[in-house]
Structure 1
C-alpha cells in the first residue's frame, strides 16, 4: 500500500470540493496542519492520515443517492394473489422476499420465512391457496429518490430492502446487495 503524496491529498480535497478548513473540522485536526501537510512541510501521523482519508470516503459516499443505485424493475406481488404466486415469483428471480403492492403503493411484504412458518401450522395445499394479504408482514421502509445512501445503509441494517417512492408510487428498490456492490466500484 502506497501512502498518498501531499499533492495527491490536495488534489483529492479540491476534487471533492472541500476547503482546508472543512477537511480540518471533519477530520478533527487544525487547518494549519492540513496546509502544512499539503505543502509537504510536515509528515502526518498515520492516525491523522487515516482521519483525512476517512473524511474523503465519507464525502464520496455523500454524493451517492438512492436514484443512482436503485433497481427500477421492482419485482412484487399483489395482496389478492395467492401464496403460490409469491413462491413462483421468488423462485423465478432467486429472491427470498418481495414487496406487496396495491396499485403501485406498498401495503406489505412477503418472505420465504413467513411462508415456511405458516406451513408448520397448516397443510401445504391450504397455504398455497391462501391470499398474500392473509400472511403478509409490514411493508419495507420507503425513501425518496434523492435520499443519501448513508441513510439507506442504516435502514438496511434492520430491513432486507428499502422501497423508493415518488409521488406515492414505488419507482425503485434498493437491497443490501446493491449497497455492497458499491465497494467493488
Structure 2
C-alpha cells in the first residue's frame, strides 16, 4: 500500500491543529505576513487557516509551525520557561529535613542558598543524601546540608536564550539557576525544556 507524505507524518507524530495557529502566532508577536514569509506561504493562506475557511495539508501546517518554533527558540529566554519560586535549603538545614523536602517534592536536587546574602553556595543531590546515610549510618541524622553538599549549580542571567540553556543541560549539567538583579529567581531542568517541546507539538 502506498502511503502519502502527509499520512506518514500523521502516523509518526502528533500534529498541531489549525486552531492553535493564531494563539501561537500572537504569542510570538508576529503578523500573518511575517509568519507567511518565514514559512514560505502566502499571507492569505495564513488568514484562511486562522479563520477556519480552509483545511490545510499536514505538510503545510508543519512548515508553518516549524517556522514559528524556530522564531520562538530564538526569542524565548530563561525567565520565560523557568520554574519559580525556587525551593531551596540553607547550609544549616538539617539533612533529614532537606531529605524530607526532596522526597515530598519529588526533586533530585536542591540549591543551597545562604539566607543572609542570597548567595548560591552549593547543591544537595539525592546521591549526596544516599552517600551520607551509607557512610555515616545513624550519625547521618545529626548532619546538616553543609556537611554533604556538592558544588553549586551554574547561574545564568534572566535574558539568556533558551537554546543556550538547552545546550548546557545537554552537556551533563543537571539544572541551571536563573538570576535577576543579583537574586536567584528561578530554576530550569531538563523537564522544563521537555515541557516547552511538548507545548510545540
Q: Describe the superposition over 1:90-127 as per-residue Cα deviations: whole angstroms up to 9, x where unpaired.
A: 0121111110011222110001111112222221x211
1:58 positional shift:
3.0
**Contact map agreement 1:163 1:172 (CA 8 A) in 2:** yes
Q: Does 2:79 correspond to 1:67?
A: yes
Out of 161, 167, 179, the residue aligned to residue 175 of structure 2 is 161
Normalised TM-score (structure 1): 0.70
Moved more, 78-87 or 52-61: 52-61
Q: Shift in Å at residue 165 of structure 1?
A: 0.7
Which of residues 64, 83, 90 is equivalent to 1:78? 90
Q: 1:133 to 1:150 in 2, by over 3 A?
A: same
Q: 1:15 to 1:182 in 2, by over 3 A?
A: farther
User: What TM-score results when the alignment is normalised by the length of structure 2?
Assistant: 0.65
* Structure-2 separation of matches of 1:173 and 1:91: 18
| RMSD of aligned residue pairs (Cα, Å) | 3.1
Which consecutive unaligned segments of at least 5 residues does structure 2 have?
Answer: 1-5, 10-24, 43-61
Measure the CA separation in 2 of the matches of 1:169 and 1:183. Answer: 28
Q: Distance in 1 between matches of 2:190 and 2:183?
A: 21
Distance 2:129 2:158 in 1: 31
CA contact (8 A) 1:16 1:56 kept: no
Count of residues in correspondence between the two structures: 155
